[in-house]
Amino acid sequence: MKLIVGLGNPDKEYLNTFHNLGFMAVEECARLLDATFTKIKCRAQLAETRINGQKVILAKPQTYMNLSGESVRELVTFFKIDISDLVVLYDDYDLEKGALRLRENGSAGTHNGMRNIVKELGTENFKRIRIGFKPDTESKIPLLNLVLSGISEQDKPVFEKAITRAANSAKEFAEGKTFQSIMQKYNGKSN
């Protein structure tokens, strides 16, 4: 069984913000897998499908970003997910706008949602797909406000491409491809 988690905030006011890039990517992954978010369990919206006889769960925690780990821990426990079968998609200020960075483990960095997941799971050893949104020029907006800023019309094509690439990488994870091969294919910025 695979668990693909996209991070974000549930209220409509956050729909088009950088902090919801994880939600956008997991929604696109669900579309690619022909799965629909119809269930609520473990304080998350869920979509389920099967690939090669194996169940795949896509989740959008509804706990708000800073408490994402509570929902992820509940999902891992309830569905008896092996940590090696978990991948988390989320936004990352430290990466160039539109770039992807896939890793098999690592620290949470400056991301409060990831910090909470690491705390709740008690490990940093789970896969992640990070979507960069660092501004081209130094921003005078505090990071707390920047992550909740709307994505501009000018930047939408860059993020649509990044979201599609992130969703495809998560889809390949669900299909059972090795994470090493997925990392080689998707890490960096698309041309």
Query: Hey, which residues are catalytic here?
Result: 19
Q: What is the pLDDT of residue 144?
A: 67
Whether 98 is covered by a domain: the verdict is yes
Determine phi and psi for 142, rounding to 5 degrees: -55, 145
Whether 73 is covered by a domain: the verdict is yes
CA distance 187 to 191: 12
Q: Which domain holds residue 141?
A: 2-186
- Give whole-number Cα distances, 176 to 49, 60, 73, 79, 191, in Å: 14, 21, 22, 18, 26
Q: What is the pLDDT of residue 188?
A: 87
Number of domains in the chain: 1
Whether 191 is covered by a domain: the verdict is no
Whether 114 is covered by a domain: the verdict is yes
Give me the residues of the chain with pLDDT under 70, please. 139, 143-144, 190-191
CA distance 78 to 182: 27
Q: CATH number, domain at 79?
A: 3.40.50.1470
The pLDDT tens digits for 78-98 are 999 999 999 999 999 989 999
Q: What DSSP letter does each residue of 2-71 carry, written as one string? A: EEEEE----SGGGTTBGGGHHHHHHHHHHHHTT----EEETTEEEEEEEETTEEEEEEEE-S-GGGHHHH
Torsion of CA 112, 123, 6, 53, to 10 degrees: -170
Whether 69 is covered by a domain: the verdict is yes
